[in-house]
Structure 1
Amino acid sequence: MLELMFCSLLTILPDYLFRRYGQGRRIGKEITLYSVWFELRWGITACAMLTIGLITVIFYNHPSTSNAALFFRTVPIVPEINGRVAEVYIRGSGRIEKGAPIFRLDSSRQEAAAETARRKIVETDAALTVARSELASNESKIQEARSDLQQAQDELRTKQELMRRNANVVAQREIERLEVMVAGREAAVNSAIAARDTAQIRISTLLPAERESAVAALAQAQADLDKTVVRAGVTGRVEQFALRVGDIVNPLLRPGGVLIPEEAGRSSLQAGFSQIEAQVMKVGMVAEATCISKPWVIIPMVVTGVQDFIAAGQFRGGEQLIDVQQIARPGTILTFLEPLYPDGLDGVTPGSSCIANAYSSNHDRIESKETGSVKKVVLHAVDAVGLVHAMLLRIQALVLPIQTLVFTGH
């Protein structure tokens, strides 16, 4: 309507003034309801063409959309393991700090596993003490075996010396018995040394490894035990939480509730603009928005991101071919808008529906020396007509609460 009124001042009004004062035609006489088209056909035709062109320029270079909202993601309240609820620490909805407990699952199995791991550590420490005692005993056995070996070797040498001096003094059978005894005593010494080495290996390698395994098992059991207590991962609000003692929760199928982060939906606005404006939407464009949850307020914003893909074109591979006709509605260009001022979105409820405008700026092209004079005038006009869209947004912001409350009955 504003475009039509503006264009009529440049087309229909001059045509009427010419007919009135140039040709002497008067309203109600020569210009009637039935002859207005014939008399003002040039002005009406030019007005229609100019209005259509102006609307096209405005909506293309200064895009607008009502598909805008403050999206946010919630955090499901689920445990990492299946289990039955044993204790609930909060009731209903409310604010919760990061790390605060929400509910606890039955932990009898995890506590038993942790106690088993602790007992295994104690058992390993006891085995280490016993191994040290065995090592001391093995040292004594080695000394004893070496003493017996030394005695047998001395006796064998004595007999061999006597036999060398007089063969009839010592029997050959006695020499052989002593040689066998020395070999047995040497084997006993080697056995005692092997037992000592085994004890040392147990003390230095085996038992410490078993203890480390027991400590790791305890850590795993403690981690599983800690998982039975579900805590808030972020600071926020707990909603739709109705768990009771005895309920069974599943991390895939049965969440306990929803945790909404404190900063969710308070940093940026997501808006979907028409595909035809894909070449116009650029990062850094100035934008404005008005939201239903904060009526009669225009929020200055800036475009911080433009998604390179249109969601309507995505598909999931399967056993059937995808027909393009199955896309019922064309997708939009998703853009991310952030407020120019830190408190710009204060008072806007996360998830609120909004109306957003984005404004093109050709200042750099106008200031460029390579741009011709005619083109500069055209670019100035393109930037100037953004004022019309800004006025329309303010009219929408003014009418939106009335339209919502009165005409829709919500």
Structure 2
Amino acid sequence: MVVLLLLIYAGLCVAVFKLLRAPVNQWTVTTAVVGAILIVGGILAGMNYNHPYTTNARLYFYTSPIVPIVSGPVVEVAAEANKPVRQGDLLFRIDPRPYQFIVDQKQAALAEARQSVKQLEASVRRAEAALGRVQAQQDLAQQTYDRQAELLQKQVVSQAALDAASRNLEAARQSVAGAEATLDSAQIAYASNIDGVNTTVARLEADLHAAEYNLAQTQVVAPTDGYIPQMLLRPGMSVSAATPTMVFVHSRDQVFVAAFPQTAIPRLQVGRPAEAAFAAAPGRVYAGRITVFADAIAAGQLQASGTIMDPASRVGSAGDVTVTIELGDDFAARQLPPGSVAKVAVYSDHWQPIAIVRRILLRMQSWLNYIG
């Protein structure tokens, strides 16, 4: 920036001395030098404070490590490097056979458990029938005992007959108690459920769902629209759960961030107009506005640790303040590669005539991108 201003000033001096034939002597040369210091210095001071400028700006993008949930050998790699994929498209597939076997086992166990539930229901019905049968026998034994007791009073039967009827009645009562216990046990086993589902069936259903989930995870798909910048995975390689296999670049939600020195903070406000000149787009300047002003500077962050913070370790850099800039629709149509760097200027309402110089210098720097 300083070089460009000096070159412009030098060009004006050459025009004055050559075209206007101004005399070249110690007074005119001294005046030109002092003028360079005052004019260029003043313009730089006014621009740098009122219309901040930075070369530290970048188009950031989001990435995600593709981490399989299950382990096994890779049988198919569907994605290709730098080829766009849509959300849900297959990236690669792990051998599903071991997980299919587990699903089959869980399905068989679940079918067996459901059949067992029917058997428990039948056991309850049998226990109810048995209880009704012994209760009828108890009623008959009670009637026999009552009749024998009445006949004994009339001295028609002996005491032995009444004793036999009493023993039969007691045996019938014991049978009823046993049948009731059997029915209670059958009802408890049948009634053991969660939300109307037998507990064993519910547990096996959960196991089956987990097995089906693991089977589905053998197909690793794209989390969003994007692409794989490097595809090193090949069929036959083994992958492990929780181990990254590749990096996925998300096509959406790119963010353009510029970092400014802290002296520019008074002029960095949300809504301020800004312009960006990307090295990847020579000769072009894109307009935008500040949408987010970071409320914190990274150099000042503190985290809990087992050591005492040493302030001397942070003396080297004061830290920059970052802003997020939303560029116009013409930039969105350009499709610059993620990670592209740029030079950015932000314009305030102060010293607006100097903003014209800043705009001109930014465009000159954009033109210089043609020659690297």
Give the TM-score of the pair, scaled to structure 2: 0.86
Shift of 1:89: 2.8
* Equivalent residue number for residue 346 of structure 1: 334
**How is 1:2-401 mapped onto 2 (pairs within 5 angstroms)?**
27=23, 32=25, 35-36=26-27, 45=34, 48-166=37-155, 169-206=156-193, 208-250=198-240, 252-253=242-243, 255-263=244-252, 265=254, 268-314=255-301, 316-327=303-314, 328-341=316-329, 343-344=331-332, 346-362=334-350, 382-401=351-370
CA distance in 1 between counterparts of 2:241 and 2:151 reads 90
Contact 1:78 1:249 in 2 (8 A): no
Report the residue type matching 1:232 in the other structure.
Answer: A
Report the residue type matching 2:109 in the other structure.
Answer: K
CA distance in 1 between counterparts of 2:137 and 2:346 reads 103
Report the residue type matching 1:353 in the other structure.
Answer: V
SS in 2 for 1:95: coil
Cα distance 1:240–1:344, how it changes in 2: closer, same or farther (>3 A)? closer
Contact 2:68 2:242 in 1 (8 A): no
Kindly, what percent of the aligned residue pairs are identical? 24
Structure showing greater Rg:
1
Cα distance 1:88–1:344, how it changes in 2: closer, same or farther (>3 A)? closer
Report the residue type matching 1:396 in the other structure.
Answer: Q
Contact 1:300 1:344 in 2 (8 A): no
Report the residue type matching 1:390 in the other structure.
Answer: R
SS in 2 for 1:282: coil
Runs (5+) with no aligned partner, structure 2: none
Contact 1:299 1:345 in 2 (8 A): no
Report the residue type matching 1:223 in the other structure.
Answer: Y
Shift of 1:286: 0.4
Pairs aligned (count): 361
Shift of 1:41: 5.7
CA distance in 1 between counterparts of 2:168 and 2:191 reads 34
Contact 1:283 1:304 in 2 (8 A): yes
CA distance in 2 between counterparts of 1:92 and 1:58 reads 45
Contact 1:299 1:344 in 2 (8 A): no
CA distance in 2 between counterparts of 1:300 and 1:67 reads 17
Contact 2:282 2:368 in 1 (8 A): no
Structure 1 range deviating more: 315-324 or 289-298: 315-324
Report the residue type matching 1:349 in the other structure.
Answer: P
CA distance in 2 between counterparts of 1:88 and 1:296 reads 41
- Give me the CA root mean square deviation: 3.0
CA distance in 1 between counterparts of 2:334 and 2:7 reads 37
Report the residue type matching 1:27 in the other structure.
Answer: P
Shift of 1:383: 1.4
Report the residue type matching 1:383 in the other structure.
Answer: Q
Shift of 1:337: 0.8
- Superposed CA deviations along residues 209-264 of structure 1, whole A, max 9, x for unmatched, are 211111111111111221222111111112211212332324554x2222222225
CA distance in 2 between counterparts of 1:344 and 1:98 reads 21
Relative contact order, CA 8 A, sep 6+: which one is greater?
2
Report the residue type matching 2:356 in the other structure.
Answer: L
CA distance in 2 between counterparts of 1:82 and 1:219 reads 18
CA distance in 2 between counterparts of 1:40 and 1:77 reads 66
Contact 1:102 1:231 in 2 (8 A): yes
- Superposed CA deviations along residues 28-49 of structure 1, whole A, max 9, x for unmatched, are 6xxx2xx33xx77677546633
Cα distance 1:183–1:244, how it changes in 2: closer, same or farther (>3 A)? same
Runs (5+) with no aligned partner, structure 1: 17-25, 363-381, 405-410
Cα distance 1:392–1:239, how it changes in 2: closer, same or farther (>3 A)? same
SS in 2 for 1:70: strand
Cα distance 1:106–1:341, how it changes in 2: closer, same or farther (>3 A)? closer
CA distance in 2 between counterparts of 1:341 and 1:90 reads 30
Cα distance 1:353–1:345, how it changes in 2: closer, same or farther (>3 A)? farther
Contact 2:91 2:222 in 1 (8 A): yes
Cα distance 1:98–1:41, how it changes in 2: closer, same or farther (>3 A)? closer
CA distance in 1 between counterparts of 2:241 and 2:266 reads 44
Shift of 1:138: 2.1
Shift of 1:315: 5.1
Report the residue type matching 2:210 in the other structure.
Answer: Q
SS in 1 for 2:188: helix
Cα distance 1:40–1:93, how it changes in 2: closer, same or farther (>3 A)? closer
* Equivalent residue number for residue 377 of structure 1: none
- Superposed CA deviations along residues 48-67 of structure 1, whole A, max 9, x for unmatched, are 33432331111111011111
Shift of 1:178: 1.7
